[in-house]
Amino acid sequence: MQNNILSGIVPFSIDGVAVRRPVVVAGPCSAETERQVLATARELARAGVRIFRAGVWKPRTMPGGFEGVGRRALAWLKKVKEETGMLVATEVATSEHVVAALEAGVDILWIGARTTANPFAIQDVADALEGHDEATVFVKNPVNPDLELWIGALQRVYNAGVRRLGAIHRGFSAYGEHVYRNQPQWHIPLELHRLVPSLPILCDPSHMGGRREFIAELSQQALDMGFDGLMVESHCDPDAAMSDSSQQVSPTTLEAILRSLVVRDKHCSTESLAQLRQQIDSCDNELLDVLARRMAVCRDIGRYKQEHGMQVVQNDRYGLVLNSRVKRAAALGLGEDFVRAIMVAIHEESVNQQVKIVNRKGNDS
């Protein structure tokens, strides 16, 4: 990997003044109406936010969702700039978006997670950025946990001449139910920071957590790990938002969250105990998610056994499970007794859950 290619990155600044940590970018997931955009922007400006975000074009997972109002909203962003003096930011996913946004005077462009995962799309965006060396561009991580893909996207934009470049960590998607909408996997952005120390990295706790209750804790974790700032979704009426409603906060709540954050000295916190503890927290959360998934499958098996009149414990299967896990654990450098004890405890809980189902009376299964 040729990381020296990114070595000319310019530190982030507004009007030539270096922005103090944390850089805060806030605004609604989507620009919905002129009224909503301006009302949110005014409140955020009062709360001290200096960079306003709003999605003009929205990539939606499923068809039929609100896909943004399109270039019409660029005029609203212009008004935000004129009225509040904030810088404005929007997501671009195609060369047409780049041209339209730059023409409309959008100060900061960001590339969304779905786009970062697609080198053709990134190259299209990068080609449109050619000749716009003064543009500021943030590249979100790809939806999948692939650091090379993320760096590759950054490099394409860098190669187009952009030097005011940053990254946004918004977590990685994973199949199935999880506490957070996107998994933090903090070690990936930390590795990006190690490889490209001059690259500013923001954290997006809204898309990472998927729920507004998680914004404060994820923001604090990000700052403790030395992130440079935050991109948070904020809406003047979050419950009425047309996209990502559950992960947006009102500007007043955002102000309270920002006030509650403890900003520690970056140089002290990098590689610090706090950073390592965040990784432990993250591993434990993953363990709990996996355990919950395993128990859900056990309950499905319980229902199957009930329907087919089978007994709960099948000894041959239990022996196979235990031995194969202990063997696999040894290959991972985990102690045999330790893993055996864990598997026995997990099996015991699985059996308890199945026994409850098998003994359930009536047809409530």
Which residues of the shown chain bind Mn ion in the complex (CB under 5 A)?
Answer: 29, 244
In angstroms, rounded to a whole number, what is the distance separating the alpha carbons of residues 296 and 353? Answer: 9
Tokens 């716009």 -> residue: 132
Q: Should residue 156 be labelled a site residue for ligand PEP when binding is judged by CB under 6 A? A: no
3-state DSSP call for residue 185? coil
CB of 51 to Mn ion, least distance (A): 16
Judged by DSSP in three states, 213 sits in helix
Number of residues in the chain: 365
Using CA atoms, how far residue 36 sits from 56, 109, 182, 240, 310, in Å, is: 13, 21, 27, 10, 59
Q: Which stretch binds ligand PEP (CB under 6 A): 3-11, 108-116, 195-203, 214-222?
A: 108-116
Nearer CB in complex with Mn ion: 32/244: 244
Site string for ligand PEP, 131-150 (x = CB under 6 A): ---------x----------
* Residue whose CB is less far from Mn ion, 251 or 302: 251
Question: What tokens were used for 184?
Answer: 């933090």
Report which of 203, 207, 205 is spatially closest to residue 190, judged by C-alpha positions.
203
Per CB under 6 A, the list member of 27, 112, 166, 205 interacting with ligand PEP is: 112
d(CA 278, CA 268): 15
Find which of Mn ion, ligand PEP, none residue 170 binds, CB within 5 to 8 Å per kind. Answer: ligand PEP
User: What track of x and - describes contact with ligand PEP for positions 159 through 188 (by CB under 6 A)?
Assistant: -----------x------------------
Rounded CA separation 220/254 (Å): 13
In the bound state with Mn ion, the residue whose beta carbon lies nearer, of 61 and 315, is 61
Give how many residues touch ligand PEP by CB under 6 A. 11
Which residue's CB is nearer to Mn ion, number 26 or number 29?
29
Question: CA quadruple 79, 84, 87, 91: dihedral positive or negative?
Answer: negative
Q: Using CB under 6 A, pick the residue from 19, 24, 26, 29 that binds ligand PEP.
A: 29
Which one, 59 or 161, has the nearer CB to Mn ion? 59
Shortest Cβ 29–ligand PEP spacing (Å): 5
32 binds, among Mn ion, ligand PEP, none (CB under 5 to 8 A by kind): none
Name the percent of the chain in helix, strand, coil, to the closest 5: 50, 15, 35
Q: Which is nearer to ligand PEP, 89 or 343 (CB)?
A: 89
CA 240/CA 27 separation, integer angstroms: 14
> How many angstroms separate the CA atoms of 240 and 23, rounded?
27
CB of 91 to ligand PEP, least distance (A): 6
Q: Which listed residue (25, 56, 89, 113) binds ligand PEP by CB under 6 A? A: 113
Q: Pick the closer one to Mn ion by CB: 224 or 244.
A: 244
Residue 112 burial class via C-beta count within 10 angstroms: exposed 0-12, middle 13-18, buried 19 and up: buried
**Binding residue for ligand PEP, selected from 27, 55, 68, 226, defined by CB under 6 A:** 55
Strand ranges (E), the chain: 13-14, 17-18, 23-27, 51-53, 87-91, 108-111, 136-140, 164-169, 201-203, 229-233
DSSP strand E in 97-206: where? 108-111, 136-140, 164-169, 201-203
Residue closer to Mn ion by CB (options 151, 230) is 230
Interacting residue ranges for ligand PEP, rule: CB under 6 A: 29, 55, 59, 91, 112-114, 140, 170, 204, 207
